[in-house]
Amino acid sequence: MQTIGLLQMDATVGDLQGNSVRLSNLAQRAHENGAAVGVSTELAICGYPPRDLLLERDFLQLCMDHALALPSPLPLLVGTPIPPADPRSLPSNGVVRCGPDMLDWMDETGRIVAEKQLLPTYDVFDEARYFEPTNRSGLARSFGGMTLGVTVCEDAWQSAGMTPSAYEQDPIQNIAEWVRQGVEIQATVNLSASPYHSEKFSTRLQVARHAAAVLNHPFLLANQVGGNDDLLFDGRSMVVWPDGTAIVAPSWCEGVLMVDLAKPEECRWLPAGQSDSLNIGEGHLVRLGPEDDQLPKEHMIEEITHAVVTGLSDYCRKSNIQSIVLGLSGGIDSAVAACVAVEALGPELVTGLAMPSRHSSQHSIEDARHTAQALGMNFHLHEIDGMHEATEITLDTVLSDGHPVAGENLQARLRALLVMGYANAQSSMAITTGNKSEIAQGYCTLYGDMAGGYAPLGDVYKMEVYAMGEWFNQRAQAQGKTPPVSQSTMTKPPSAELAPDQFDEDTLPPYAVLDDILRSHIEEGLNAEDLVKVGHSKDLVLDVLNRLERNEHKRWQMPPAPRVTSRAFGQGWRRPLASKHNWRTK
Amino acid sequence: MQTIGLLQMDATVGDLQGNSVRLSNLAQRAHENGAAVGVSTELAICGYPPRDLLLERDFLQLCMDHALALPSPLPLLVGTPIPPADPRSLPSNGVVRCGPDMLDWMDETGRIVAEKQLLPTYDVFDEARYFEPTNRSGLARSFGGMTLGVTVCEDAWQSAGMTPSAYEQDPIQNIAEWVRQGVEIQATVNLSASPYHSEKFSTRLQVARHAAAVLNHPFLLANQVGGNDDLLFDGRSMVVWPDGTAIVAPSWCEGVLMVDLAKPEECRWLPAGQSDSLNIGEGHLVRLGPEDDQLPKEHMIEEITHAVVTGLSDYCRKSNIQSIVLGLSGGIDSAVAACVAVEALGPELVTGLAMPSRHSSQHSIEDARHTAQALGMNFHLHEIDGMHEATEITLDTVLSDGHPVAGENLQARLRALLVMGYANAQSSMAITTGNKSEIAQGYCTLYGDMAGGYAPLGDVYKMEVYAMGEWFNQRAQAQGKTPPVSQSTMTKPPSAELAPDQFDEDTLPPYAVLDDILRSHIEEGLNAEDLVKVGHSKDLVLDVLNRLERNEHKRWQMPPAPRVTSRAFGQGWRRPLASKHNWRTK
C-alpha cells in the first residue's frame, strides 16, 4: 500500500506566492521520505478564511492559476477557490490535482477533483456568503495508483450529526454508497480548515471516527495550522481507521503526517524544517486506541498557552511586526503577557516599561523588574508623577467637579502615551495585557490599558491567567531557570492601583466566581435564570450581566456597541469581548 | 378607493416594546386621518438589521408575540421574523396581519401574509445567514376591502435586474402572473429596509417603476428611516403608478405617507409628531412625473449633511447618550463636526475644547472660539504645554533617538487625554472629527485625534467637509445668524499643527486630487492601472493606494488590520475606512 502525506500547512491569507512555496516544500519533503501522493488543507493556496478576497474575480483566477501551476514532485490534491463560469454566480470551494501522474483527458476542468458540498454559515463561518455549493462528492481516480474519496471540511460533519445546520446532502454517505456499489476506494481524504477552540479536538476526533466507520475504510484529515485574522487553527491532522484507531499529528507545528494505510505503526511526522515554520510545543505524534477519546496527558493550560503564543507569533510574522512593547505593572496579567511575548519573539525583541504613579506600591516595581530580568527582556522605568501632576493642573475643576473615575483614568492613559511613544519611536507594536474577565466587565480604561495592536490574553479568563503563570514558572524551574512570575505577583490581591488602597474585589466579585459566571454565560449560553438555578446569587448575577451587556462601569465610558455579528463571543446584545486583533481561543 | 397608510418608522433594533408603541402611534395617526389600512416597514417590530438577535429562539418568539398582539385601530401589515417549526432551521423574514377585519380562519399561522423570497447576502446584507427563503409570493385578501400583493424589500429588485445576485425566483413576476390569471389585485406593497447611500434614491425609484409597470397596478414601498448599527435609512417611502408617476415621502423624517390609489393629488404626508420622532430636513412630499428621474433641487451636500446629522442624532438617542465633547482645533474638520453635533443635540449639550500647543497658531484659537460662539455651544481653552513638556522630559532619549512621528503624536494623545477627561467627568461621549480622506491615508493619530465613540465625518471626503461648512454658513446667513465656520478656517491650508510649519500637503497630495483617487478606488472599484488610465500620475496613485492599503504612514502605527468582511468600504485587503461607530453614507 502507498504512503499518503498530509501537508499540515500554516497558510497566510492572500499570500498566493508564499503559500505556493510552502506547499511545494512540504510536497518535496513528503516525496523525499517516500510518500506516493500528497493532500493539502482546505483552500491551502489562498489560506483560510479568505473572506472578501473571494469577491474579486481577479483573485479567484489567480488562485486557480497558482494551484494548477504548483510545482510538485508527487501527485497532489490542492485546495483552491474555483472561479464561476457566470460572473453573477459565486465560486466553489474546490480541490484540484497537481504534479505528475496526470491523465490525458485532464484539462483545466478535468483537474477539478472535488467541490465542497456543505457550506457552514454559523458561528465563525460565513461560507454561503462566498461560495456556491455543489451536490456531487469527489473522487480522485488513478491517483498514485489509488482511488481516494475527496471531501472538504464540513462535508464530513453532517454524517456525524455534529453541525448546527441541517443539510440535505451527506457527502460521507454518498461515498459509502459508491463503496457499496463496488467502487474500490482505498481511503477518503478531507481537506480541512477546522478552527481551534478549547476541547474542540475530541469533537473533531468523533467526526473522523464516525466517517471511517460509515465508509468502512480509513479517513484522513489534513488540517490547517496557525493563525489567520481572528481564527486559530491547531493542526492535529489525523488518520482514523474503521475500528477507531487514530494517529494524530502534533498541534501548533507545520509539517507532514506520513500515513501508511496498511501499517499504522509506520506512520511518521516530518517537521517542515524551514526557518519560518511554525514550531510550538513538543511536536510528537499521538496514537489513540479505539477506546481513547482524549489526547493523553492533555493539559488544558499548556494547550491554551501554546494557542496564545501561536496567535501572537503568527500575527507578528504575517504582519511583519519586528518587536513588541508593553507596560509591566507587577501584576499577573502583564507578567504573563510578557512571558507570552518573549515566547513568541524572543527576549531581545520585547521591551517592558514599569510606569509607577503615586498610587503604585514599591513591590509593584520590584515584581515588574523581576519578570523582565527572569525573561531577559528589555526593561525601562519611567515615573509618571510629573506628567500626572501637570495633567491634573490642566484639568483642575473638571476633575474635582466630575465623576472620580475621570481622575483615575488619567494614569492609565498617561501610561498608554508612554507605551505608544516607545512603539512609535522604535516601530514596535504595543500589546495590551488585559484578560477576558476584566474586559468583559469593562474594568479597564479605554485608550489607557486597552491601548495596543493585539490583546494576547483577551480571550483568557483571569484564573486561567494565573494558571498560565504557574505553567511558565514550572517550566522555568524544570529548566533550572528563574521562574518569571514572582511569588508576590502570584499571591497579592489584584489591584488597578489607580487610587489609594484600591482592589479589584471592591468592584468585582472574586475572580473564581466571576469567571464561573462569565464562562457559563458566554461559552455555554446560560441566562440569568439558569445562573441562579446553578447556585449563584441573583444580585451578583444581575450585577455581572449588567456590567457585561451595558458596560456601565464608568472606566470604559463608551456608548453601547453595535450588535455583534459573530456568535464567537456569545449570544445577543453583547460587545465583543476580545480586541479584533486577538485570536479566538474559546 | 381606500386610502393606504405607509408607516415610515424609525425602529430601534431589539426594542420590541418601543417599536410596538411607535407602530401603534403611526397606525392611530393614519386611522384618524382616514386610512383604511396600514403597511409597516420590513421587520418593523424588531428593527433592521437585527443580526445575531435572530439566533435566539426566545427573541424570535417575542417578536412574533409582539407583532400579533400589536394594538391597531386599522388592518395593518407588520414585518416580523417568523420562528421556524424545526429548531435546526432558520426563521423567515415575514409579514403578519394585525388589527380589525380579521377573518374567522385566521389563527396564528393564518395571519402570516407573506415571507421574504429573495435574501440579499452581499455588501451590507447577510440574510442567508439568518433567514430561510420561501418560494411563494404574498397576498393580503379581504384586507380593508382590498386585495394587495405583498413583497418584502429585495423581492422587488430581481424583476428590475438591479441585484448583484442572480435569483431563481421573481416575486413580482409571480404576482403579475396572478393578475393575468384573473386575481383582482388593487396594488402591491413592499415592506422595505433599504439603506441609504448617496445616489441610492434614483436606483430605488427605478426598481419601483419597473415593478409598477410589470404589475400594471400601483406599487407602494414603505421604507425604514433612521440609523441602526452601521446603517442609515433615508425613508422616502413611495407610491408609483404604472405610467411612472411617483409620490415620494420626505427623507430623515418619521410619519405616514397617505396614499389614495385613485387620486394622486390627494396623497399626503403626516409627520409622526411625537417628541422623539426623527424630524430632520424640510419634510415635504415630492411628486414626480413619469419622466422625472431625479428628486427636484436635489442638493447632494444638503443630503449628506442631513444623513450625517441623522446618524449622530439617532445614535445618541438610541444609546442614551446625553451630551458630546470634542476638540476644536480651528480647522475645518472640527468646525464642521461641531456644527453637526449642535444640529443633532442642541448647543447646550455640546462642549468644544481648544487645546493649543507650542505649534498652534494664534488664529487657530480664534477660529475655534468663533465657531463655538456662533453655534452657542460650551467652550473651554486648555494650553497643553505643561503636560507636553513633562511628557518630553519623561521620554527624553526615547524621543530623541527614535522616529520623529513619536514626538508629534504626543500632542494629539495629550489632547485625547483632556477630551476623555471631560467625557468621563461629565458622562459625555467624545466624538472624533477626522474625515474619510485623512483616515484612509492614516494621516491621524491612533489614541489621539482618532479617540472617540463616534466619527460623524468618517465617511465624508475632505472636499465634502468644506462643502458642508459652506452649507452651514449659507444657512446661518439666510437665517440672519453668524456663519459658524470662519473665513480663515475655510481658506487656510490644512495643517495638523504638530510640528513647525507643517502642512497636510507636505505629506498628502492636494485634497481635490486625493479625494478623486480615493473615491474612484473605494466607491467605483478602479484599481491602480485604471486610475493611471483616467489621468493620474502613476507615482501618486501608488503612493495613495500604498498608504491606503498598508497604512504605512507612521502616524497611524498600527499593524495591518484583519481583512474587511463587508464591501461597504471597497474591495480587498483593506482596513475599514470609518470607525465602527460611524454610519455609512457612501
Mean pLDDT for B57-67 is 92
SS (H, E, C) B446-503: CCCCCCCCECCCCCCCHHHHHHHHHHHHHHHHHCCCCCCCCHHHHHCCCCCCCCCCCC
Catalytic residue among B115, B116, B343, B586: B116
Mean per-residue pLDDT of chain B: 89
What are the Cα distances from residue A378, in Å, to A328, A386, A433, A450? 11, 24, 17, 22
pLDDT at A550: 59
Report the Cα A133 to chain-centroid distance in Å.
26
Mean pLDDT for A216-225 is 98
Instruction: Give the position of cell 516530518.
Output: A270
**B374: pLDDT strictly greater than 90:** yes
Minimal Cα distance from B49: which residue of A? Answer: A563
Q: CB-based contacts of A12: which residues, under 8 Å, 6+ apart?
A: A18, A19, A47, A228, A318
pLDDT at B551: 53
Q: Which three cell numbers stand for residue A47?
A: 489560506
Cβ atoms of A33 and A65 within 8 Å: the answer is: no
Cβ atoms of B279 and B201 within 8 Å: the answer is: no
Nearest Cβ partner for B52 among A165, A425, A567: A567
pLDDT at B296: 67
Burial of B176 (0-12, 13-18, 19+ CB in 10 A): buried
Burial of A297 (0-12, 13-18, 19+ CB in 10 A): exposed
Instruction: Give the position of cell 477660529.
Output: B367
Question: Is A525 an 8 Å CB contact of chain B?
Answer: no
HSE of A27, CA atoms in CB hemisphere, 13 A: 25
Q: Which three cell numbers stand for residue B382?
A: 486648555
Length of chain B equals 586
Cβ separation of A398 and B416 shorter than 8 Å?
no
Cβ atoms of A406 and B417 within 8 Å: the answer is: no
Q: Which three cell numbers stand for residue A369?
A: 523588574
Between A549 and B186, the higher pLDDT residue? B186
Instruction: Give the position of cell 511613544.
Output: A421
Which of B178, B263, B254 is CA-nearest to residue B218? B263
Cβ atoms of B6 and B257 within 8 Å: the answer is: yes
pLDDT at B556: 32
pLDDT digits (tens, 9 = 90+) for B99-125: 997 777 788 888 999 999 999 998 889
Which chain A residues touch B165 with a CB distance below 8 Å?
88
Cβ separation of A55 and B567 shorter than 8 Å?
yes
The model's confidence at residue A556, banded by pLDDT at 50, 70 and 90, is: very low
Cβ atoms of A586 and A200 within 8 Å: the answer is: no
Rounded CA gap, A509 and A513, in Å? 6
Between A77 and A582, the higher pLDDT residue? A77
Nearest Cβ partner for A421 among B122, B384, B399: B399
Whether residue A153 lies in the annotated active site: yes
Question: Is A553 an 8 Å CB contact of chain B?
Answer: no
Which chain A residues touch B399 with a CB distance below 8 Å?
421, 425
Minimal Cα distance from B317: which residue of A? Answer: A559
- Other CB atoms within a 10 A radius of the CB of residue A160 amount to 18
DSSP-assigned states of every residue in B224-270: -EEEETTEEEEB--EEE-TTS-EEEPPBSB-EEEEEESS-GGG-EEE
**A574: pLDDT strictly greater than 60:** no
Mean pLDDT for B345-349 is 98
Which residues, numbered 28 to 87 in chain A, qualify as contacts with chain B under a Cβ-Cβ cut-off of 8 Å? 49-53, 55-56, 59, 86
Cβ separation of A386 and B383 shorter than 8 Å?
no
H and E: helices and strands count for chain B: 18, 20
Asked if omega into A73 is within 30° of 0 (cis), the reply is no
Cβ separation of B417 and A391 shorter than 8 Å?
yes
pLDDT at B574: 27
Q: Chain A closest CA to B35's CA: distance in Å? A: 36
Cβ atoms of B281 and B547 within 8 Å: the answer is: no
Question: Is A476 an 8 Å CB contact of chain B?
Answer: no
- Other CB atoms within a 10 A radius of the CB of residue B534 amount to 11
Which residues, numbered 253 to 312 in chain B, qualify as contacts with chain A under a Cβ-Cβ cut-off of 8 Å? none
Report DSSP state, residue B25: H
Poorest-pLDDT segment among A78-92, A296-310, B212-226, B246-260: A296-310
The model's confidence at residue A199, banded by pLDDT at 50, 70 and 90, is: confident
**B582: pLDDT strictly greater than 70:** no
Instruction: Give the position of cell 453573477.
Output: A88
Size of interface A-B (CB pairs under 8 A): 229
β-pairing, A246-248 with B3-8? unpaired
Which chain B residues touch A230 with a CB distance below 8 Å?
562
Superfamily of domain B306-505: HUPs (3.40.50.620)
CATH 3.60.110.10 positions along chain A are 3-298
pLDDT at A562: 28
SS (H, E, C) A79-100: EEEECCCCCCCCCEEEEEEECC
pLDDT at B547: 81
Which chain B residues touch A395 with a CB distance below 8 Å?
382, 418, 421-422, 425
**A569: pLDDT strictly greater than 80:** no
Question: Is B161 an 8 Å CB contact of chain A?
Answer: no
Q: Which three cell numbers stand for residue A112?
A: 477539478
Catalytic residue among A116, A318, A436, A462: A116
Asked if omega into B195 is within 30° of 0 (cis), the reply is no
Rounded CA gap, B53 and A563, in Å? 8
If one looks up domain A307-569 in CATH, what number appears? Answer: 3.40.50.620
- Other CB atoms within a 10 A radius of the CB of residue B204 amount to 22
Minimal Cα distance from B567: which residue of A? Answer: A52
Burial of A122 (0-12, 13-18, 19+ CB in 10 A): middle
Q: Which three cell numbers stand for residue A525?
A: 449560553
Mean pLDDT for A171-196 is 96
The model's confidence at residue A230, banded by pLDDT at 50, 70 and 90, is: confident
Q: Which three cell numbers stand for residue A532?
A: 441562579
pLDDT digits (tens, 9 = 90+) for A390-409: 999 999 999 999 998 899 99
Rounded CA gap, A185 and A175, in Å? 9
pLDDT at A123: 86
Mean per-residue pLDDT of chain A: 89
Report the Cα A106 to chain-centroid distance in Å.
38
Beta bridge partners of A140: A148
Mean pLDDT for A266-286 is 93
Report DSSP state, residue A61: H
Rounded CA gap, A219 and A560, in Å? 47
Catalytic residue among B42, B115, B254, B343: B42
Which of B529, B524, B563, B120 is CA-nearest to residue A53? B563
Helix (H, G, I), strand (E, B) or coil at A359: coil
The amino acid at B423: A
Q: Which three cell numbers stand for residue B139?
A: 397576498
Mean pLDDT for A315-324 is 89
The model's confidence at residue B510, banded by pLDDT at 50, 70 and 90, is: very high
If one looks up domain A3-298 in CATH, what number appears? Answer: 3.60.110.10
Mean pLDDT for B124-141 is 92
Q: Chain A closest CA to B347's CA: distance in Å? A: 19
Report the Cα A286 to chain-centroid distance in Å.
21
Q: Chain B closest CA to A393's CA: distance in Å? A: 9
Q: CB-based contacts of B382: which residues, under 8 Å, 6+ apart?
A: A394, A395, B353, B354, B355, B418
Cβ atoms of A544 and A509 within 8 Å: the answer is: yes
pLDDT at B586: 45
pLDDT digits (tens, 9 = 90+) for B399-423: 999 998 899 999 999 999 999 999 9
Q: CB-based contacts of A227: which residues, under 8 Å, 6+ apart?
A: A233, A310, A311, A314, A315, A318, A583
Mean pLDDT for A75-84 is 97
Cβ separation of B56 and A413 shorter than 8 Å?
no
Beta strands in A194-279 (DSSP E): 219-223, 225-228, 231-234, 238-240, 246-248, 255-260, 268-271
Q: Which helix (H) or strand (E) holds B65?
A: helix B57-68
β-pairing, B286-288 with B378-381? unpaired
Report DSSP state, residue A352: E
The model's confidence at residue B552, banded by pLDDT at 50, 70 and 90, is: very low
Which chain B residues touch A119 with a CB distance below 8 Å?
none
Percent pLDDT > 90 in chain A is 71
pLDDT at A296: 67
**A500: pLDDT strictly greater than 50:** yes
Cβ atoms of A413 and A551 within 8 Å: the answer is: no
**B338: pLDDT strictly greater than 90:** yes
Helix (H, G, I), strand (E, B) or coil at A380: strand
